[in-house]
Amino acid sequence: MAKDIFSLLNKNKKPLFTGTVKRIVLWDIAIFFLLFVSSNIFTIAITNKILTDNLDERLKNEIETLVASFRIQQDTIKFVGYSEIKEPDFTTINSGAFFLQVYDKNNKLLLCSDNLKSFGTIPFKIPNIRIRYEFENLTAGNHQLRVIYTPMLNQHNKIEAYLQLSVFRTEYSSIMKKIILFNMLNLPFILLIIVVVSIFLAKKSYAPLNKIINIAENISANNLNARIKYDAHPQDELGRLRDTLNNLFTRLEVQINQISQFTDNASHQLMTPLTALKTELEYILKRERTPDEYKDTLTMLNMQTDKMISIIKSLLIIAKYSSNSEINKNVFKVSQVVNESIKPIFTNHNIGYEIADDLYLRGSYEGFQIVIENLIDNAIKYSPRNSRVIVKAENTDENIIIKVEDPGFGINDEEKEKIFERFYRSVPAMKGNIQGYGLGLCLVKTIVLAMEGKIKVEDNYPTGTKFIISFPSVKVL
Instruction: Give the binding range for ligand ADP (CB under 6 A) out of 89-97, 134-142, 228-236, 376-384.
Output: 376-384
406 touches ligand ADP by CB under 6 A:
yes
CB 325 within 8 A of CB 353: no
Q: Which is nearer to ligand ADP, 208 or 436 (CB)?
A: 436
Among 408, 448, 455, 471, binds ligand ADP (CB under 6 A): 408
Q: How far is the CB of 369 from ligand ADP (least distance, A)?
A: 16
Distance set, CA 437 to CA 95, 166, 414, 440 (Å):
108, 109, 20, 8
407 touches ligand ADP by CB under 6 A:
no
Q: How far is the CB of 418 from ligand ADP (least distance, A)?
A: 8
Q: What secondary structure letter does DSSP report for 323?
A: S
Q: How far is the CB of 404 from ligand ADP (least distance, A)?
A: 8
Q: Which is nearer to ligand ADP, 172 or 437 (CB)?
A: 437
CB 187 within 8 A of CB 36: yes
203: left (phi over 0), alpha (psi -120 to 50) or beta: alpha
Give the residue from 454, 436, 143 showing the smallest Cα distance to 272: 436
378 touches ligand ADP by CB under 6 A:
yes
Q: Where are the alpha helices (DSSP H) in 68-169?
A: 82-85, 88-91, 115-119
Q: How far is the CB of 380 from ligand ADP (least distance, A)?
A: 8
Give φ, ψ of 182 to 5 degrees: -60, -45
Residue nearest to ligand ADP according to CB distances in the complex:
436
Distance set, CA 175 to CA 59, 145, 170, 172 (Å):
19, 15, 9, 5
Sign for the CA dihedral angle at 236, 238, 244, 250 comes to: negative
465 touches ligand ADP by CB under 6 A:
yes
Report the alpha-carbon distance of residue 297 to residue 279 in Å, rounded: 11
Q: Residues binding ligand ADP: what is the number (CB under 6 A)?
A: 20
Q: Which is nearer to ligand ADP, 390 or 439 (CB)?
A: 439
Identity (one letter) of the amino acid at 156?
H
Q: How far is the CB of 438 from ligand ADP (least distance, A)?
A: 4
Q: How far is the CB of 249 from ligand ADP (least distance, A)?
A: 30
Query: What percent helix, strand, coil does the chain show, rounded to 5?
Result: 55, 20, 30
Q: How far is the CB of 441 from ligand ADP (least distance, A)?
A: 3
Q: What residues from 423 to 462 belong to the interface with ligand ADP (CB under 6 A)? A: 424-426, 429, 436-442
Q: Which is nearer to ligand ADP, 22 or 425 (CB)?
A: 425
Instruction: Give the binding range for ligand ADP (CB under 6 A) out of 66-74, 88-96, 159-167, 375-383.
Output: 375-383
Q: Residues 448, 454, 458, 460: what is their CA dihedral angle, to the nearest 10 degrees?
A: -60
Among 163, 317, 361, 411, binds ligand ADP (CB under 6 A): 411
Residues that bind ligand ADP (CB under 6 A): 378-379, 382, 406, 408, 410-411, 419, 424-426, 429, 436-442, 465
